[in-house]
Amino acid sequence: MTELTGMTRDEITAWLAEKGAPAFRGKQVFEWIHRGADFDEMTNLPAKLRDELKACSVAQPVSIRLHRTSELDGTVKFLYELKDGNCVEGVLMRYHYGISLCISTQVGCRMGCRFCASTLEGKVRDLTAGEMLGEILAANRFLEHEGKKVSHVVLMGSGEPLDNYEQVIRFLRLLREEDGIRISLRNVSLSTCGIVPKMYDLAEEKLPVTLSVSLHAPNDEIRRKLMPVANSWGIRDILGACENYIRKTGRRVIFEYALTEGINAGEAEARALANLLRGMQCHVNLIPLNEVRERRLKGVREETVRRFMDILEERHISVTRRREMGDDIGGACGQLRRQTVQEISRRESVCESSI
């Protein structure tokens, strides 16, 4: 089945022309797709064409299986269902500047970061560009009753975006298609654990997205304890790729740093981090660790966060503490999907034992 959300307007037009449809139908179908519509809603298309499309293509590859809304701040956590039955997560966050959606780029993840729930069962498969776009379209339909749409996108959900490079780049280009959802790439952040060769490739794409790097340590010794990817590329390799990205795009780099008790959150680590980043066009985003039961890592006290920030600020490093959102709905990525998968597994076990 052809996935229409993964196609440009020109590609849909050419595809429909092969079926004998006039060129203007391509624009119509493309606009309907980017409104999050299914075929039955495309009322300006002939019924025969709609039936043909249903038989050979998919309008919306992603649906919202369930959602949880925070009573604290209105954050919404989505469990998206894909056409093959797999699930991924998304988080919709409300800010004064607009609505941001954190999307997934893979079902699961193979990077193995110790603090992450998404990687516990490894990677199942990559998402297509159309499925990534479908996450946004489903969120926009969810927001319709408010008269609002997603304005900012963060590729920081399940998966490593640069491990699904070709589809992620296609997704980014789809965001700014004429007659599409038209989200500025300056409103897009892409997070990576540090796949250095792909960071250089991304810089050559000349796409003005914000690069966020999961650093989480001021040296390779600590980083290898937290992130297996550190065995392939050291911090100096990552910083070199970041400097190149800054030169090529003119965009500052964001370094994500999850403070973990007894590992990377001491004053010595703060001073080392400041020395490491001195003079770079960057910003540090300190993250209170979302504890994952299976990982046995612990977050830090608020006074530790404050002291860490003070040390960076004293050394003229731009730093903020990530705003905690959706705490009452299991905000950490991967937790809702994991809970659902485990629940389905338990139900299947009960059914099998009763046969």
> Contact, 281 vs 239, CB < 8 A?
no
DSSP result, 84-131: TS-EEEEEEEEETTEEEEEE-SEEE-SS--TT-STTTT-EEEEPPHHH
Question: 312: closest CA among 290, 280, 341?
Answer: 280
Catalytic residue among 89, 135, 160, 269: 89
d(CA 269, CA 104): 31
Distance CA(91)–CA(157), nearest Å, equals 8
Beta strands in 209-329 (DSSP E): 210-214, 253-259, 282-288, 319-321
Give backbone dihedrals phi and psi of 120, rounded to 5 degrees, phi first.
-60, -35
- Residue ranges in 289-333 assigned as alpha helix (H): 302-314
- Catalytic annotation present for 87: no
Nearest to 251 by CA among 321, 190, 164: 190
Exposure string of 262-292, with b = 16+ CB inside 10 Å and e = fewer, is ebbbbeebbbbbbebbeebebbbbbbbbbeb
| 312/307 Cα distance (integer angstroms) | 9
The sign of the torsion formed by the CA atoms of 229, 232, 233, 235 equals positive
Checking DSSP bridges between strand 282-288 and strand 253-259, what pairing results, if any? Answer: parallel
Q: How many CB atoms lie within 10 A of CB 186?
A: 12
**Residue 269, CA distances (Å) to 167, 262, 277, 308 in order:** 36, 11, 12, 9
**Is 121 among the catalytic positions?**
no
Residue 120 Ramachandran class (φ > 0 left, ψ -120 to 50 alpha, else beta): alpha
CB 264 within 8 Å of CB 250 = no
Say how far residue 111 (Cα) sits from the centre of its chain.
Answer: 15
Active site amino acids:
89, 333
